[in-house]
């Protein structure tokens, strides 16, 4: 079987063996967590243990609400439901930008950081009954927002702060209390858990409004029988991702090597957000003149998995919305691919990537000089 070099951890991280074990061990439990008999109570125990693991992973207090959802998208829509006004940055994930028809967007700078002056102006034109929603780390560039500053600003104007920490968890330290946030979205499959599980963590005083109250599960905030085994996998994966955070130092060394070599090969290559605080595993690189689709296909033929930005824009030959918000010209944005590493990547993976990338660069240079 062909060896696969997986460099698309921001899309989905490989399932951790321990998460798989937790899933398998609970699949046959059979009981419904809402049933009062012993089988039901066993299933309930699994869900509540997972809740405590997720709570601990983001250092949320015992009093915080942890509502399980089907993933980051649903957590984001729950956070923004029922509020009078929602403000966000123009470089957010589609699950936030499309969460409401009346979403107000605040521009970002050339690195994708939210314009705090603009946010302040927008907040000062309201009565405080608002939620500001900002992602902690961008899924495409990995650029980190200054969450503390945004929290202070939102709170000064009486607004709540929701943070989409889907990409941050397991890659940088995430502390619900220290960040000063009111709500936080998480997703299992970004930390080595299964797809289809996530959570919204919210301070105890935040009044959430269900999108789907159903049978009253999750404190009436998310109807539907809980995904018991999926949540078991989520809890274990979240705990491990945080316990193994130090491994990100080695991942960062690999990422930095890759970027350095890319720029040695092609001095005209662009690495977005390179000079600001970023996730240690992410690199969003444009190779001018070579469409992202062609790069991805060449990589795929060599057994290397990378993507053109978010899963939503890849495969549809759309330029990245994040780069558009950052003011990057469309032609350049269409030549950008995202490399997102994980703890299983090794030096040889970087070499495999660079050999394909160098070939793409040289073929393009030859084409240009023949033209």
Residues annotated as part of the active site: 312
- Residue 44 or residue 278: which is nearer to ligand PLP going by CB? 278
Among the residue ranges 69-77, 110-118, 225-233, 263-271, the one whose residues contact ligand PLP (CB under 6 A): 69-77
187: contact with ligand PLP by CB under 6 A:
yes
Within the chain, strands assigned E span 5-6, 65-69, 85-89, 104-106, 130-135, 160-164, 183-187, 198-202, 270-271, 282-286, 304-305, 336-340
Residue 264 in 3-state DSSP?
helix
- Cβ burial of 201 (10 Å; 0-12, 13-18, 19+) is buried
Decide: 199 and 192 in contact? Cβ < 8 Å. no
- Cβ burial of 98 (10 Å; 0-12, 13-18, 19+) is middle
- Residue 44 or residue 338: which is nearer to ligand PLP going by CB? 338
Name beta bridge partners: 270.
286
Q: Which of 33, 112, 142, 198 binds ligand PLP (CB under 6 A)?
A: 198
Taking the complex as a whole, the smallest distance from the CB of residue 89 to ligand PLP amounts, in Å, to 12
DSSP-derived secondary structure letter, 158: T
Among the residue ranges 67-75, 154-162, 172-180, 287-295, the one whose residues contact ligand PLP (CB under 6 A): 67-75
Q: What are the DSSP calls for 222-250, one per residue?
A: S-S---HHHHHHHHHHHHHHHHTGGGHHH
- Residue 142 or residue 239: which is nearer to ligand PLP going by CB? 142
Taking the complex as a whole, the smallest distance from the CB of residue 281 to ligand PLP amounts, in Å, to 13
- Residue 7 or residue 350: which is nearer to ligand PLP going by CB? 7
93: contact with ligand PLP by CB under 6 A:
yes
CA 174 to chain centre: 13
Q: Any idea which residue has 């999926």 for tokens?
A: 230
Binding-site size, ligand PLP (CB under 6 A): 16
72: contact with ligand PLP by CB under 6 A:
yes
Q: Which of 95, 122, 141, 229 binds ligand PLP (CB under 6 A)?
A: 95
Taking the complex as a whole, the smallest distance from the CB of residue 64 to ligand PLP amounts, in Å, to 20
311: contact with ligand PLP by CB under 6 A:
yes
Decide: 162 and 36 in contact? Cβ < 8 Å. no
Query: What does the alpha-carbon distance between residue 210 and residue 221 come to, in Å, rounded to a whole number?
Result: 4
Among the residue ranges 65-73, 249-257, 286-294, 359-367, the one whose residues contact ligand PLP (CB under 6 A): 65-73
Q: Any idea which residue has 């290397």 for tokens?
A: 304
- Cβ burial of 157 (10 Å; 0-12, 13-18, 19+) is middle
103: contact with ligand PLP by CB under 6 A:
no
Kindly identify the residues of this chain, within the stretch 127-166, that bind ligand PLP according to CB under 6 A: 135, 139, 164, 166
Taking the complex as a whole, the smallest distance from the CB of residue 229 to ligand PLP amounts, in Å, to 17
Query: What does the alpha-carbon distance between residue 44 and residue 311 come to, in Å, rounded to a whole number?
Result: 33
Decide: 271 and 328 in contact? Cβ < 8 Å. no
- Residue 141 or residue 352: which is nearer to ligand PLP going by CB? 141
Taking the complex as a whole, the smallest distance from the CB of residue 92 to ligand PLP amounts, in Å, to 8
Taking the complex as a whole, the smallest distance from the CB of residue 128 to ligand PLP amounts, in Å, to 26
Taking the complex as a whole, the smallest distance from the CB of residue 310 to ligand PLP amounts, in Å, to 6
Closest CA to 262 of 347, 326, 356: 356
- Residue 77 or residue 335: which is nearer to ligand PLP going by CB? 77
- Residue 133 or residue 335: which is nearer to ligand PLP going by CB? 133
Residue 133 to residues 60, 92, 151, 270, Cα–Cα distance (Å): 18, 9, 10, 28
Q: Which of 71, 112, 233, 273 binds ligand PLP (CB under 6 A)?
A: 71
Taking the complex as a whole, the smallest distance from the CB of residue 106 to ligand PLP amounts, in Å, to 17
- Residue 320 or residue 352: which is nearer to ligand PLP going by CB? 320
Residues lying near ligand PLP in the complex (CB under 6 A): 71-73, 76, 93, 95, 135, 139, 164, 166-167, 187, 189, 198, 310-311
């Amino acid at each position: 079987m062909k060896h696969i070099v997986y460099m698309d951890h921001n899309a989905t991280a490989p399932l951790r063996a321990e998460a798989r074990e937790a899933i398998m061990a609970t699949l046959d439990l059979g009981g419904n967590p809402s049933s009062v008999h012993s089988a039901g109570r066993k299933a309930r125990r699994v869900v509540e243990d997972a809740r405590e693991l997720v709570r601990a992973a983001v250092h949320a207090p015992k009093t915080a609400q942890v509502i399980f959802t089907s993933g980051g998208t649903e957590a984001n829509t729950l956070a923004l439901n029922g509020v009078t006004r929602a403000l966000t940055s123009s470089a957010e994930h589609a699950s936030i930008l499309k969460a409401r028809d009346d979403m107000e967007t605040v521009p970002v700078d050339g690195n994708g950081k939210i314009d705090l002056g603009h946010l302040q102006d927008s907040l000062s034109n309201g009565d405080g009954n608002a939620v500001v929603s900002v992602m902690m780390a961008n899924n495409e560039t990995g650029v980190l927002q200054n969450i503390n500053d945004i929290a202070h600003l939102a709170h000064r104007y009486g607004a709540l702060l929701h943070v989409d920490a889907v990409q941050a968890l397991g890659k940088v330290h995430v502390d619900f209390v220290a960040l000063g946030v009111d709500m936080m979205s998480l997703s299992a499959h970004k930390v080595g858990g299964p797809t289809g599980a996530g959570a919204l963590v919210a301070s105890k005083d935040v009044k959430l409004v269900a999108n789907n109250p159903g049978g009253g599960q999750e404190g009436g905030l998310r109807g539907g029988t809980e995904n018991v085994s999926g949540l078991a996998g989520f809890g274990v994966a979240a705990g491990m991702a945080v316990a193994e955070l130090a491994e990100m130092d080695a991942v960062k060394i690999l990422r930095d090597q890759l970027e350095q070599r890319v720029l040695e090969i092609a001095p005209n290559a662009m690495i977005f957000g390179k000079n600001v605080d970023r996730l240690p595993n992410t690199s969003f690189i444009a190779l001018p003149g070579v469409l992202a689709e062609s790069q991805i296909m060449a990589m795929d033929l060599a057994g290397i998995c990378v993507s053109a930005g978010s899963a939503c824009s890849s495969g549809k030959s759309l330029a990245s919305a994040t780069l558009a918000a950052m003011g990057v010209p469309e032609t350049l944005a269409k030549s950008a691919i995202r490399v997102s590493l994980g703890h299983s990547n090794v030096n040889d993976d970087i070499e495999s990537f660079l050999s394909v990338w160098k070939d793409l660069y040289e073929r393009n240079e030859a084409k240009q000089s023949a033209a």
